[in-house]
Chain A
Amino acid sequence: MRELGESITHAAIARPSGRLGPLGVEAPDEDGFTLGLAAAEALPWPPDASPVQRLDLVGDFPLEAGWALPEALDLGEVTVHRSASGAASLFEALRSHPGSAPGTARLVLAVDLARIGRPPGPSHGALALAFRLGEGGGLRVDSVGTHVVSPRRGSPATSSDVRGAPPGARPMPLLLLGEEAQIAAASERAIALGFVPIPAPPPPPGVGPAVTTLAGLALRLAYGVDNTVIEVALWVLSPDQEVSVRATELGPVAWSEAPTPGPHPLAAPPIPEAAGAPDARAEGAYVPKPRYLENLPSRWRLVAERCAHCSHLTFPARGVCASCGRADGIQAVPLARDGWTVEAVTTVRPGAQPTEFDLYAKAVGGYDVVIARSREGPRGTFQVAGPAGSAHIGDALYLPLRRLYPMEGEWRYGRKAAPLPARPRTA
């Protein structure tokens, strides 16, 4: 593990917002793709960083993530490698540097999920990581954060251990958690991770159990041959001590049903049919895939267009100035993802949503939609990723990427608005 720790220059971990939806795992508009992107966006990216030349995806990212993530992250030309999900795959991805010249930048996005909640409950831990590899030279990772959705009640040791941990705990180094974690990682069938606490927004009433805030946690997952967790170990740290104060060995997880090799819980889930609802894949304002792809720069990177003649900033981008109509001399300018201000807000209650949002509205009990103005000037209309009624005129927002709506059997993605900086913080 030592050479691994020495080669990581930056790291960030994203967490699901903690609203447990009907799909069991995470907020109904989050999945591995959105979490991975959130982690990547949270990287303390140095301004003089060499461009990323290789992107490793570990986990069940949506199929289009291979080209979609470089677009969303504005990475330019990268080689994308995909690995299967699971801790062993992540471990392999982190260890391998095939053909990398010294100083080559590499980004690893990993989505992993501790299936410690299955069965019986729907509560899973979910992680997404982004690493930037390359310059080497013993830089210690000291800015890592995550959040774990409460372990299932069926594991009383873990849930009682992690509940009620006070906020404000100190950051702790990744992979420096003690002998136990290193031993576990060396097995190549497990992984150890370090966490700092992140305050969790309270879930909306009736949506799911409260999310636990951790003071610090080392998590070891031992995987069986079918890639399901067969053993879980947790080291819970108190806020005032550097290393573990308790170790809880759960032993082999007692599955009450045979673990199924079904889809990874953080993969974009299949689009279910609501009872009595029309085909959710076909019923909706039809946006053909080419139109969706055409708008991705504005949807994902908030690309606006600056007119060379009148300086007007047009958003969403449309290849022509919305003010003077000139199409020559247009320059693409991404708007900032934060600093948007609410100018108008409504709370759409279940029953008033377009059919594309039937399942989502049912899951979250309604949602806010805002018209917000960017720092640079243009306005946008965004759904709020947060409890209904949480956005108000004058609020400052940032825009995380989320799952928007299903169309023709696929999820489509775009920016939503969040009133709080729910993305992971780095020290």
Chain B
Amino acid sequence: MARRRAALVGAGHTRFGVLPEGPRALLRTAVDSAFGSVDRGLERSRVEEAFLGTLGFSGWQLGNASAVLAEEARILPAPVTRVENACASAGFALRAAVRAIESGARDVVLVAGVEKMNDSPSPHRRYWLGVSGDTEWERLAGLTFAGVYGLMASRHMADYGTTAEALAAVAVKNHANGARNPNAQFQKVITREQVLGAPRVADPLGLLDCCPVSDGAVALLLAGEEVARTLTDTPVLVVGAGAGSDTLALQERESLTSLSATKAAATDAFRHAPFDRSRLDFLEVHDCFTIAELLALEDLGMAPPGGAAAMTLEGATAAGGRLPVNPDGGLKAKGHPIGASGASQAYEAFVQLRASAGARQVAGAERALTHNVGGSGASATVTLFQRG
């Protein structure tokens, strides 16, 4: 008997960036927008359960943040579970919602992700930006994530001859995409020279190799497939929800240039999927740093080890290319409110596969993959979507 499938029926997205609103207002805006996007409308009382992805950045509500979502979404007394896997929090929250629906336990589930990162002064922010890596042996050697990805980039360059120009090409491409996304934090084109000439942050990574510090929230409404078809004629089916883990510290891993959590998540996602990698129309990958997009393309099997640089430099991943990657600008240009990013990727799948992405629409898109990474790869999700 075929497994019950979950489908996206609505999605809402605040603008990402340095925003005046607090986390409650951001959540409210995203959830209201999601309900407003359901073609035939959806009563809030039909939401049976919700999952919230957030790191609680800056400690805005370290405990029991779930209640904030229940209040702001006006779904009381539906149960809410807060999911925290660093930058992959919303990816895992989405997966929990999909499982709840696939199991038959729930018919309608809400997923939200939120982060408010620009409230705090810089030292406080840097404190929080480092709380999700290995504390004892990485952070206290002086690393935040820029440094950890800098380490991976240095090894990737040594092993495969990857160049700073290839990393810059990722940033240039994602900024070009972000310029067409009205929700993006950076809606401006940048040049290769600007990226290469930017101040260094954690060599070989410079300022324009890094995603920004962002505020924002995203909400997704999911339903069982048969319920979804009563709510809209164009649901977006979730046809694979994979995830994986790896060691917290980079030094424990066999390879410094590959995230095995990503590989495991992809294998998991494709196991029951109705299509294989070659049928994907676009990808949303976790490009917290430029090197991360190259690692993702290789670990997801879109390029051989060391091959993502050439793929990027030849334009295959650009808008209109053979395999567009991060058409919304990615974390790099769209912004990276930590707990919201995984849901933002699913939002992009929702609008693209319903042909409502406006200026950044990937022509004829029917199948998409989203890839969400926690920290430096200790956790990862890969989710597959298909136009319903």
Q: Give chain A's interface residues, CB within 8 Å of chain B.
A: 274, 276-278, 283-285, 287, 291, 295, 316, 322, 343-349, 351-358, 360-361, 367, 369-371, 379-383, 389, 393, 404-405, 414
B320 lies within 8 A of chain A by Cβ: no
Q: How far is the CB of B251 from chain A (nearest CB, A)?
A: 4
Option from A349, A357, A381, A393 in Cβ contact (under 8 Å) with B249: A381
Q: List 6 A–B pairs whose Cβ atoms lie within 8 Å, in order of A's numbering.
A: A351-B201, A352-B146, A354-B140, A358-B123, A380-B137, A381-B138
Segment touching A, from B20-28, B125-133, B365-373: B125-133
Determine whether the beta carbon of B121 is less than 8 Å from that of A371: no
Determine whether the beta carbon of A348 is less than 8 Å from that of B147: yes
Q: How far is the CB of A402 from chain B (nearest CB, A)?
A: 11
Determine whether the beta carbon of B251 is less than 8 Å from that of A381: yes
Determine whether the beta carbon of B127 is less than 8 Å from that of A278: yes
Determine whether the beta carbon of A285 is less than 8 Å from that of B140: yes
Determine whether the beta carbon of B158 is less than 8 Å from that of A357: no
B155 lies within 8 A of chain A by Cβ: yes
Determine whether the beta carbon of A356 is less than 8 Å from that of B140: yes
Question: Which residues of B from 149 to 183 have beta carbons under 8 Å from A?
Answer: 150-155, 158
Option from A349, A351, A393, A404 in Cβ contact (under 8 Å) with B154: A393
Determine whether the beta carbon of A352 is less than 8 Å from that of B131: no
Determine whether the beta carbon of B139 is less than 8 Å from that of A354: yes
The answer for the CA separation of A211 and B360 in the assembled complex, in Å, is 59
A283 contact set on B, CB distance < 8 A? 123-124, 127
A354 contact set on B, CB distance < 8 A? 126-127, 130, 139-140, 142-144
Q: How far is the CB of A101 from chain B (nearest CB, A)?
A: 43
Determine whether the beta carbon of B158 is less than 8 Å from that of A393: yes
Determine whether the beta carbon of B151 is less than 8 Å from that of A285: no
Determine whether the beta carbon of A355 is less than 8 Å from that of B127: yes
B158 contact set on A, CB distance < 8 A? 344, 393
Determine whether the beta carbon of A371 is less than 8 Å from that of B251: yes
B202 lies within 8 A of chain A by Cβ: yes
Determine whether the beta carbon of A352 is less than 8 Å from that of B147: yes
Among all A-B residue pairs, the 3 with the closest Cβ atoms: A346-B150, A344-B151, A347-B203
**How many residue-residue contacts, CB under 8 A, span A and B?**
125
Determine whether the beta carbon of A295 is less than 8 Å from that of B201: no
Question: Which residues of B from 11 to 66 have beta carbons under 8 Å from A?
Answer: none
B193 contact set on A, CB distance < 8 A? none
Determine whether the beta carbon of A345 is less than 8 Å from that of B251: no
The answer for the CA separation of A317 and B156 in the assembled complex, in Å, is 28
Q: How far is the CB of B215 from chain A (nearest CB, A)?
A: 20
The answer for the CA separation of A287 and B199 in the assembled complex, in Å, is 32
The answer for the CA separation of A285 and B130 in the assembled complex, in Å, is 8
Determine whether the beta carbon of B251 is less than 8 Å from that of A369: no
Q: Which of A287, A291, A369 has the most CB of B within 10 A?
A: A369
A-side binding surface: helix, strand, loop or mixed?
Answer: mixed
The answer for the CA separation of A369 and B203 in the assembled complex, in Å, is 10
Residue of B nearest to A274 (CB): B123
| A343-B143 contact given A355-B123, A379-B251, A393-B154, CB 8 Å threshold | no
A360 contact set on B, CB distance < 8 A? 142
Determine whether the beta carbon of B147 is less than 8 Å from that of A355: no
Determine whether the beta carbon of B140 is less than 8 Å from that of A352: no
Determine whether the beta carbon of A345 is less than 8 Å from that of B135: no
| A285-B139 contact given A344-B151, A347-B202, CB 8 Å threshold | yes
Q: How far is the CB of B114 from chain A (nearest CB, A)?
A: 23
Determine whether the beta carbon of A369 is less than 8 Å from that of B201: no
B138 contact set on A, CB distance < 8 A? 381
The answer for the CA separation of A393 and B251 in the assembled complex, in Å, is 15
The answer for the CA separation of A276 and B124 in the assembled complex, in Å, is 11
Further 6 A-B residue pairs, CB within 8 A, beyond A346-B151, A348-B142, A371-B151: A278-B123, A344-B152, A349-B203, A354-B142, A356-B139, A381-B138
Determine whether the beta carbon of A348 is less than 8 Å from that of B123: no
B272 lies within 8 A of chain A by Cβ: no
Determine whether the beta carbon of A369 is less than 8 Å from that of B124: no
A316 contact set on B, CB distance < 8 A? 136-137
Determine whether the beta carbon of B136 is less than 8 Å from that of A295: yes
Determine whether the beta carbon of A349 is less than 8 Å from that of B142: no
B252 lies within 8 A of chain A by Cβ: yes
Q: Which of A291, A351, A367, A414 has the most CB of B within 10 A?
A: A351
Determine whether the beta carbon of B202 is less than 8 Å from that of A345: no
The answer for the CA separation of A345 and B205 in the assembled complex, in Å, is 11
The answer for the CA separation of A345 and B147 in the assembled complex, in Å, is 9
Determine whether the beta carbon of B155 is less than 8 Å from that of A382: no
Option from B123, B141, B154, B249 in Cβ contact (under 8 Å) with A277: B123
Determine whether the beta carbon of B127 is less than 8 Å from that of A346: no
Residue of B nearest to A322 (CB): B252
A277 contact set on B, CB distance < 8 A? 123
The answer for the CA separation of A379 and B151 in the assembled complex, in Å, is 13
The answer for the CA separation of A389 and B124 in the assembled complex, in Å, is 27
B134 contact set on A, CB distance < 8 A? 381
The answer for the CA separation of A325 and B291 in the assembled complex, in Å, is 33
The answer for the CA separation of A112 and B202 in the assembled complex, in Å, is 37
Q: How far is the CB of A373 from chain B (nearest CB, A)?
A: 9
B139 contact set on A, CB distance < 8 A? 285, 354, 356
A322 contact set on B, CB distance < 8 A? 252
Option from A274, A278, A349, A381 in Cβ contact (under 8 Å) with B141: A381
Residue of A nearest to B249 (CB): A381
Determine whether the beta carbon of B127 is less than 8 Å from that of A381: no
Option from A276, A353, A379 in Cβ contact (under 8 Å) with B126: A353
B141 contact set on A, CB distance < 8 A? 369, 381-383
A393 contact set on B, CB distance < 8 A? 154-155, 158
B256 lies within 8 A of chain A by Cβ: yes
Q: How far is the CB of A30 from chain B (nearest CB, A)?
A: 16
B200 lies within 8 A of chain A by Cβ: yes
B110 lies within 8 A of chain A by Cβ: no
Determine whether the beta carbon of A343 is less than 8 Å from that of B144: no
A370 contact set on B, CB distance < 8 A? 151
Q: How far is the CB of B373 from chain A (nearest CB, A)?
A: 18
Q: Which of B138, B151, B205, B251 has the most CB of A within 10 A?
A: B251
Determine whether the beta carbon of A405 is less than 8 Å from that of B140: yes
Option from A291, A344, A356, A405 in Cβ contact (under 8 Å) with B155: A344
The answer for the CA separation of A114 and B242 in the assembled complex, in Å, is 64
A291 contact set on B, CB distance < 8 A? 136
The answer for the CA separation of A3 and B38 in the assembled complex, in Å, is 94
Q: How far is the CB of B259 from chain A (nearest CB, A)?
A: 14
Determine whether the beta carbon of B144 is less than 8 Å from that of A353: yes
The answer for the CA separation of A352 and B145 in the assembled complex, in Å, is 9
| A371-B142 contact given A347-B200, A349-B199, A354-B130, CB 8 Å threshold | no
Determine whether the beta carbon of B200 is less than 8 Å from that of A349: yes
B80 lies within 8 A of chain A by Cβ: no
Determine whether the beta carbon of B202 is less than 8 Å from that of A349: yes
Determine whether the beta carbon of B127 is less than 8 Å from that of A369: no
The answer for the CA separation of A305 and B302 in the assembled complex, in Å, is 39
